[in-house]
Amino acid sequence: MNNALHDLRPLAPAQRHQLAFQCFDALADGEAFELVNDHEPRGLLMQFHAYRPQAFNWQVVQADPGYWRIRIGRAAPGEASAPMPQGGCGCGGGGGCS
């Protein structure tokens, strides 16, 4: 699963976070995958901070209108590095982030 690329754009919003966590949970320490989304995935980052704190790395690889590419890795113990999102999730939805 190391360095796999997953395009979330064709998926229904409810499936996007589920797939990201399934991919993450399958990683060994030091492995990573990338995802593509149609907007900044702040909601997903917030969920990673809530459900996998100190376990992940998060790197924005590309940030263009309609195309965001994020690299998410499983950190070795003590090596987690991920920005804390500012503001809300940014999805504009009523509580269901995509």
In the chain, where are the structural domains located?
4-74
pLDDT at position 45: 95
The pLDDT of residue 73: 96
- The structure's pTM equals 0.80
State the CB neighbour count (10 A cutoff) for residue 11. Answer: 15
Kindly indicate the confidence band of residue 24, based on its pLDDT and cuts at 50, 70 and 90. Answer: very high
Reduced 3-state DSSP string for 18-71: HHHHHHHHCCCCCCEEEEEECCCCHHHHHHHHHHCCCCEEEEEEEEECCEEEEE
89 band by pLDDT with thresholds 50, 70 and 90: very low
Q: Which of 21-25, 27-31, 73-77, 87-91 has the lowest mean pLDDT?
A: 87-91
The Cα–Cα gap between 37 and 66 comes to 7
**Chain segment 30-88, per-residue pLDDT in tens:** 999 999 999 999 999 999 999 999 899 999 999 999 999 999 999 987 776 777 776 55
**What CATH architecture is 4-74?**
2-Layer Sandwich (3.30)
